[in-house]
Structure 1
Amino acid sequence: MTIRALLFLALVPGTALHAEIYRWVDADGQVHFSDRRMQGAERTGIPTAATRAPNPPAATPPEADEAAFLGPYTAFEIVAPGANETLTQDKSDLAVSLILDPPLLEGHRVEAVLNGVAVPLANAATQFRLSGASFGSHRLQVQIRDADGDLIARTALQSVHLRQTQAPQEPQEPGLLR
């Protein structure tokens, strides 16, 4: 009796690999699968570990990506300063203008991310000024978070360069060094 049970159990997994599965679509457009042949059914195979497509890679969390992520918005991007733009100015403040459509949804808040540091914004304006940005190169992104702090949308990450206006220099006479 034990030998028959072991033999039976040894054969069962193998039979599943060779089972025939039939697929058909009924009059309502519903797809059906069965191990019994039905009128109009086509034979399909059972995917095995060797033939099964690998699981798709896990989606990268939005925070790990530098690309834009619109979420529920049809448009969300930084229009000024432009990507990789060099601004020459007296102050190191950075004026930012956005396109956001539809307007900020209830419960959502805007924050700027300058060089990886989040800067919450007091109002939901699409134009604001980041003060205290030093002269030099920066990486800028704007994000929208919900009331729980979860990321809802973000602009593409872009570089911007702030250069200080230089005072005019006195003309020098040729050959004279000071």
Structure 2
Amino acid sequence: MRLILLFGLLSISLCSSAAVYRWVDENGKVHYADEPQQNAELVEVKQNTQNTIALRETKLNSPKESELDTAVNTTITIVSPTHEETIRSNEGKFDVTVSVAPKLLRGMLLALFIDGEIKAQPQTSTTFSLEGIYRGEHAIVVKALDQNGKVLASSSPRTIYLHQATLVTRPTPRGG
């Protein structure tokens, strides 16, 4: 099997160095072929006419050391809602606003986590609009992520209480 493969590769390499023939037909059109034709002349292919590609070494766009230092020193603070704030919303709607210092680097995104689960798509905006959050106690954390999802910075957890009015009515006792 290896012998057949070796023979095939040798025959391909011999074919690739085949001669090129040029001729002009009766209409004056120039033709080229790898087989000799009537009135065809052999064209000598010079080494410097062949296409070659030189690949340059590419450098990855990695962050500069100063950018990495800034990412490590990035501070995320939840501005609103305040710690242990009670929010009243029957629809479970509220906004979370954060501040980022010094600022978000290019490629960094903010992600909002409630009770350890991501609740909003990572974004560059510092305001998250939420809805459909159920009542009760919740822990909110905002994290700065790179494009690969690696956490670069995180806020301190913020506890909030969401109250919703209930539609369940309690029966009133009847006097008897």
Q: TM-score, normalised by structure 2?
A: 0.50
> Which is greater in Rg?
2
Q: Whole-Å Cα distance in 1 between the matches of residues 91 and 103 of structure 2? A: 30
Deviating above 6 A after TM superposition, structure 1's stretches of 4 or more consecutive aligned residues are none
Residue in structure 1 matched with residue 100 of structure 2 by the alignment: 100
Gaps of 5+ in 1: 1-69, 168-175
Displacement, 1:101? 2.0
Residue 72 (structure 1) aligned with residue 70 (structure 2): no
Counterpart of 2:123 in 1: which secondary structure? coil
Q: 1:166 to 1:118 in 2, by over 3 A?
A: closer
Residue in structure 2 matched with residue 64 of structure 1 by the alignment: none
Gaps of 5+ in 2: 1-70, 168-173
Q: 1:162 to 1:118 in 2, by over 3 A?
A: same
Query: For each residue in 1:41-73, what CA deviation from the matched residue of structure 2 results, as whole angstroms up to 9, or x when unmatched?
Result: xxxxxxxxxxxxxxxxxxxxxxxxxxxxx8332
Residues 110, 120 of structure 1: 8 Å contact kept: no
Amino acid of the structure 1 residue aligned with 2:98? L
Query: For each residue in 1:116-139, what CA deviation from the matched residue of structure 2 results, as whole angstroms up to 9, or x when unmatched?
Result: 112343531111112221111111
Residue in structure 1 matched with residue 110 of structure 2 by the alignment: 110
Residues 144, 152 of structure 1: 8 Å contact kept: yes
Amino acid of the structure 1 residue aligned with 2:144? I
- Alignment coverage as a number of residue pairs: 102
Residue in structure 1 matched with residue 51 of structure 2 by the alignment: none
Displacement, 1:166? 6.7
Query: For each residue in 1:126-177, what CA deviation from the matched residue of structure 2 results, as whole angstroms up to 9, or x when unmatched?
Result: 111122211111111000111222110000012111102579xxxxxxxx86
Q: 1:125 to 1:71 in 2, by over 3 A?
A: same
Counterpart of 1:78 in 2: which secondary structure? strand
Q: Whole-Å Cα distance in 1 between the matches of residues 81 and 111 of structure 2? A: 16
